[in-house]
Amino acid sequence: MAKSHLSLARVILVICIAFAMMALVHLHYAKFYRQADESTATTVDKHHLFNTHNDPTQPPDQELVLSPYEPTPTAMPTLVPAPVPSPEPTVLPEPKFTMTDTALTTSVRYSNGTITKTFKPAFYKDVNGARNEMGSFLETLKNRAWWTHNAQGNGLAAQTAKGTPVTDRFFAYLPMGGGNNQFTALQKAALLAKDLKRTLLIPPISPNSHIKVWSGPRYSEFYNLESFSADSGIPVLEWHDIKQTPDNPTSDFTHQWLAFSEEFPCVPNGSIGVKNKNLYDHFRRQFLMNFKAIAPGPGIVDTTQGRSGNYTFARDVLLRDTETADDASQMWKCLSCPYFLGGGNVNERSWDEIGLHMRFNDRIEAMADDILDMLLPPAKKPLDGSNQQLSTARRHAEFIIIHLRRGDIVTKCKPGQDEKECLVQIEEIAEKVDAIERERRIQVLKSSNNNTSDDMVLERLPVLVATNEKRPGELEKLVKLGWIMLDHGDQEVDAKGNEVPSRSKKLGTMKALGPFYPPMLDAVLLTRGDYLIGMSNSRMSQLAAQRGAAWYKHKTMLM
């Protein structure tokens, strides 16, 4: 009997040992996978995410996200964080949409009223069918199709989340020039819309001589239009809201876009639209519009033949027939190009009432933060011995930023004119940087109150440079000065695939995000510099100086 008890005890002991070993193995691997999961989650959290619009089945407020920049290896955490309880996953409602499929397009209409279209290859081969499929933009405005999804269904109650309610009267214009000149035109167009008490139709940032592609992005991709509408009191819509056209048509289509186009009635101004060769037609092609010059209104004789640059005259022309019974003229007003308008206090009003309120959106600001994270050291406590604490919102060191526009500006020097007479030289800019540093030292000494140590050294500020300069000799000067160039290109590789040494940190923006992002990110970064040195003959520098001084109280100068 004793022997039987002994055998049973041995069996129980063996079983216990086996279970203990299995438990240890389970704990080991559970910890391994938990650490791996947490490390991956940390990597994802380091990214600033941005939306894409490639999948029409995604609900508009839950779009796909990608990371614009890959973090450098040194930026990754070296320690695995302690495990924390995972929050309960958020259960998102299933996207509600209806899909309509025709021989030419596939349309998806979401429950919030948003409509997206995918254009099939057959679309480009059937002119009449394509025009019927797209419909008329004037009919869209008349029927107010984009706001019929609101709960009341009465149209005028619809509005953007924080913006000003749209009206049943609209003002449109044509963009021209580079991106910053287009922004200047937008400011004056918005001012006209305000004076006319009309909803502004904002065109996209259109391709131009600097960016030669078929179509351009919405302004809302970079600017907070809801906040702008609320702060300025101007209701806005974007052209994408009222007319959808192909983003990437076939190459042969670009030669026959007029056949697919509808008439675009507009009063010509500033010589834009008087003759087709003078009209920047990138916007027209993207939205398949065929410009049609119309008379300025009953009883008005325009002796300038559409070349007036007087804001008051343009406003009065557009106001002239508001009392007529013509529904079309009541609803639709258009001035081909407001860029050239001036006189009186128009420029001041354009900034104070429009430009001041057109802020960049959080997404593009976050991307600028990513770049500064890579190029600048973190912010430090002031060296003047004061108890001043750094703002929790500031995570980067102070820096100087320079906008050195060259490229096309070089070609504007007069024949036989020495370049030094028409271009600000890098040596002159370096003297301004030295003057900033001298002033900083003076201010530190004045505010130190003898609280600093005798061996205190005030470090020079980092200097960032945004430039389109391509000449090796000029670029070598920037390198010798130790300045950091904003380079949105990709790292070059040789025939064997090895990286070619570069003088600058390659940001890879162009390849990752397309041609409109490098200049737009530069525009954001120019506003961030605590000190800005820009060029007086550059619209981009002028806008950056206005924004930096007004938004952040930064010190700016134009040379």
Strands 115-119 and 105-110: antiparallel
- Cβ atoms of 194 and 232 closer than 8 Å: yes
Instruction: Write the class of the CATH domain 362-450+457-558.
Output: alpha beta
Residues 6+ apart with CB under 8 A from 70: none
Give dist(CA 78, CA 97) in Å, integer: 45
CA proximity to 375, closest of 455, 466, 440:
466
Torsion of CA 539, 542, 546, 547, to 10 degrees: 60
Residues 6+ apart with CB under 8 A from 33: none
pTM: 0.77
- Does domain 159-357 match CATH 3.40.50.620? no
Percent of the chain with pLDDT over 90: 43
Give dist(CA 425, CA 445) in Å, integer: 31
> Using one digit for the tens of pLDDT, what is the confidence trace for 3-17?
455 566 666 666 666
Strand order in the sheet with 170-173: 236-238, 199-202, 170-173, 332-335
> Using one digit for the tens of pLDDT, what is the confidence trace for 113-171?
667 889 999 999 999 999 988 889 998 888 765 553 333 333 333 444 457 888 889 99
In tens digits, what is the pLDDT along the chain, a chain of 559 residues? 554 555 666 666 666 666 666 655 555 444 444 444 444 333 333 333 233 333 433 433 333 233 333 333 333 333 334 454 555 555 556 667 889 999 999 988 877 666 788 999 999 999 999 998 888 999 888 876 555 333 333 333 344 445 788 888 999 999 988 999 999 999 999 999 999 999 999 999 999 878 888 899 999 999 999 999 999 999 999 998 888 888 888 888 888 888 999 999 999 888 777 666 555 678 888 999 998 888 887 777 788 878 889 999 999 888 876 555 456 668 999 999 899 999 999 999 999 999 999 999 999 999 999 999 999 988 876 544 444 444 445 788 999 999 998 876 766 777 778 878 888 999 999 999 999 999 999 988 887 665 655 555 688 999 999 999 988 999 999 999 999 999 999 887 777 778 777 778 899 999 999 999 999 999 999 999 999 999 998 999 999 999 999 999 999 999 9
Amino acid at residue number 449: N
- On the 0-12 / 13-18 / 19+ scale of CB atoms within 10 A, 432 is middle
- Cβ atoms of 382 and 512 closer than 8 Å: no
Give dist(CA 322, CA 135) in Å, integer: 26
Where does CATH 3.40.50.11340 sit in the chain?
Answer: 159-357
b/e map 495-525, b = 16+ CB within 10 Å: eeeeeeeeebeebbbbebbeebbbbbbbbbb
Residue 66 dihedral angles phi and psi, to the nearest 5°: -135, 165
Q: Tally helices (H) and strands (E) across the chain.
A: 18, 16
